[in-house]
Structure 1
């Protein structure tokens, strides 16, 4: 017999839903379907609120997702209510965050299991391993992370911190096991916002919350002293924890092994790192908050100025970096956007370097709308550098030349960044041997460029075949769970006639899979094509509203 164990370690028969000794909730059985939608695959772990499960969304082709549970515990009612409020606040913060390197919150739901009400957060599942897991693997091989890898990690994750800090959100729990290296593109993804603190929350409310869940205050050795002892946090508290994470990955040692608590200094003699990177990390780790960098963008500037510029690779073109910006209500001044926009995140999005210069304005906030509910806005910039070489003469005679492709996209009002990334996704999935390198204007890439353009042309053909409206297409990249929730409310109010959200989903599925039948069999659904699904649904909603 396989026994079940509660959080206190009490043994229970497999038929039990709650512990026979303490009454705490037991793990949900594998195969159990929550809310007629999410089938439990396995338990991923235990956290401060409850367990985290890997589940399949049976309404979306068994897509993997994560269910974070708030499990009722044997505690006074007032504390239970406050813990529930904190759990729901975690959800509200995740709804607010809109970044491609933060897992998308799909929904919050309530479900009655065996007479007790549970709350769940449903998030996208990020396939990949944590940096802690990668470090442990390397240590078994006698290796750790190189300085170049650490620089790359910092430059890839600092824009994420810049973004959340612009929304007055502090993560407070950065460490190697809260960073996942995403398998799809190798980018770091910031997880576990269970410890976030919204600075607008009142001191009284936070005092009550932290009395309930003191473990959420950050990890000893990673969090700075002001956070652990006084509960004081700011953006550079996260920078401190990120610097500790860098040292642990560089050395393979635990954080407390690298810090001399008696003299309150870091043991730099045991840390093999260049003077340039050491200077940056030292400032991130300053004991006093005022002596640290005051923003993630300052660290990015310091890293870039401390990094020698390598000679350009003639076979791989480069693009400037761009920032993922918050929604309109949080938009910084234009001058500040320009300053930030020159600093971050080249690795997230790619623009074909061989397209005409007029086609190369770039919006780095594309994936925001794909990942989390909320506002969406573009930050555009022109790539800089040497003028592009003209396309090689003698390219295959095809109709979908860059200029025509650009004109067709513009005529349909499809956002440029969305279109480029959708074509890139399909192109690089077909050519994994390219390792996602940028195509060049050189003769050896002529066939690849032609193929890229053909993919783009075929996509536009399908959009025209589906007769998706320009209004719906113009919003590609900004659709989110919030739109679905708005449609659900309209259906409940009778504004869509006899259409329920399920009927809307069925009608949208039929048209979507008619245009993209290959997606029905694709176990890894494309988030980018998912935006087309939303556009089709938006048109259907408009049609139903007009009828009624």
Structure 2
């Protein structure tokens, strides 16, 4: 199939090997190489066609954009011409990125302007949403991670896209990467341009408030991307997701599946109507989307310190041929304390017995003391493994 690009042609379809339209006689090959084979879109300022490049042996597919303004008024047509020209300029500058279509040609033929660009084989996100349904959180995170890097490059070239929406994001079939297309509404963000009020442009459902007033900034693209995300999460028109009476987003009540608090906060900041409360750069969004380990707050549950045991010091067995230690060991100290406790308890017991009924005093206190010493030595030997001292003969 070969398609005639003459807007006035009553029968645009021709055989694929024809060089001139059989109906109106218009030349079918643009620049003697690009042949339109099917119309794929039409807007107020032009038409888009799927085409093939017959100058190459493989005849790769490409896209032809024909400037064909249907709007009336000199100022409107003048603005349309300006936008068409600047799209060619932006693609020439930005098409070096692997996720932005490459500009192949830009020329005038038969008093009409044409732009030829790389064809991206795949579905746009609006088509994908209609086919597979609402996106999950993991899909939205992947979308943001993939597309923000493209937007980061665009902004680094001082360009504001100004028309981010599902229809302008294509998932490329061969590698599933997202490709940002349609730079017809883009704007160079020079200092003078940002300080001046320009033309309100963009899709009303996705456009940022300040952009609607002709004051687009880099943050305006971030807003439009945020609106794109909540549309994909809810499968509802963005107009339904904003309560104009409350001046607040109500997208959460239309969620098909819940999202985490972290993603909720990111989207909330992307969607702030006041630009000063919104993310100011793509880098800020990426920082929150992929926090570094140092940014992650880790709540450490430190176990309580165990109470120190009163007598938990391990007893080290004596080492052979080790000279004796002249200082008192821990066991000696504890045994002496035990002896004092025993002797003190015996004295108190004797005093109680004496007050109750007179008893003769012990005939041999030294003997009692010696018996305690002997028992304590036996206890010490059990700990140290030393020989048990012999008992003194009974008197």
TM-score range, shorter chain: 0.5 to 0.7
CA shift, 1:286, in A, is 1.0
Go from structure 1 to structure 2 and tell me whether the alpha carbon gap of 1:14 and 1:196 turns closer, same or farther (over 3 Å shift). Answer: same
CA distance in 1, matches of 2:170, 2:12: 35
CA distance in structure 2 between the partners assigned to 1:46 and 1:15 by the alignment: 15
Structure-to-structure mapping, 1:471-510, within 5 angstroms:
none
Decide which moves more: 271-280 or 147-156. Answer: 271-280
Give the drift of 1:74.
7.6
Computing the radius of gyration from Cα coordinates, the structure with the larger value is: 2
Distance 1:128 1:225 in 2: 31
2:140 pairs, out of 150, 153, 157, with 150
1:74–1:241 distance in 2 versus 1, CA, 3 Å: closer
Distance 1:56 1:258, change over 3 A: same
Per the TM alignment, residue 207 of structure 1 is displaced from its structure 2 partner at its CA by 7.1
How far did 1:188 drift? 0.5
Tell me how far apart the structure 1 counterparts of residues 278 and 215 of structure 2 sit (CA, whole Å). 15
Cα distance in 1, alignment partners of residues 192 and 33 from structure 2: 36
Aligned-residue offset at 1:31? 9.4
The counterpart of 1:100, out of the listed 98, 103, 107, is 98
Once the two structures are TM-superposed, the CA of residue 306 in structure 1 deviates from its matched residue by: 9.1
Which residue pairs with 1:372 in the alignment? none
C-alpha distance in 2 between matches for 1:131 and 1:167: 25
Higher relative contact order (CA 8 A, sep 6+): 1
Aligned match of 2:32: 36
Distance 2:234 2:25 in 1: 41
Number of paired residues? 276
More helix by share: 1
Paired residue for 1:269?
253
Partner of 1:539: none
Task: Quote the Cα distance in structure 2 between the aligned partners of 1:300 and 1:279.
Answer: 13
Which residue in the other structure is 1:132 paired with?
126
What is the alpha-carbon root mean square deviation over aligned residues?
3.2
Please name the residue that 2:86 is paired with: 89
Retained in 2: the 8 A contact 1:56–1:62?
Answer: yes
Map 1:137-536 → 2, pairs under 5 A: 137-139=131-133, 144-200=134-190, 210=199, 217-228=201-212, 230-267=213-250, 268-271=252-255, 272-305=258-291
The answer as to whether partners of 2:266 and 2:288 remain within 8 angstroms in 1 is: yes
Question: Does the 8 A contact of 1:31 with 1:40 survive in 2?
Answer: no
User: By how many angstroms is 1:245 displaced?
Assistant: 0.8
* Residues 277 and 306 in structure 1, CA contact (< 8 A), matched pair in contact too: no
Partner of 2:310: none
Aligned 8 A contact 1:65 1:123 in 2: yes
- Provide, for residues 96-125 of structure 1, a one-character-per-residue CA deviation record: whole Å limited to 9, x for no partner: 11311100011211112xxxx111111000
Is it true that 1:57 corresponds to 2:53 in the alignment? Answer: yes
- Name stretches of at least 5 consecutive residues in structure 2 with no aligned partner: 14-23, 297-395
Question: Distance in 1 between the 2:140 and 2:292 partners?
Answer: 14
TM-score (norm 2): 0.64
| C-alpha contact (below 8 Å) 1:30/1:41 kept by paired residues | no
Q: Tell me, which stretches of 5 or more residues in structure 1 are unaligned?
A: 17-27, 310-548
1:69 to 50, 53, 66: 66
Tell whether the 8 Å contact from 2:64 to 2:114 is kept in structure 1 after alignment. yes
Q: 1:58 to 1:138 in 2, by over 3 A?
A: same
**2-structure distance, mates of 1:237, 1:74:** 27
**SS of equivalent residue, structure 1 residue 193:** coil
In the TM superposition, residue 296 of structure 1 has moved relative to its aligned partner by: 0.6
Provide the rounded CA distance (Å) in 2 between the counterparts of 1:274 and 1:264: 24
Distance 1:231 1:62, change over 3 A: same
Distance change in 2, residues 1:255/1:173 (3 Å) = same
Give the secondary structure class of the aligned counterpart of 2:123.
strand
SS in 2 for 1:240: helix
Distance 1:195 1:74 in 2: 16
- In the superposition, the TM-score normalised over structure 1's length comes to 0.46
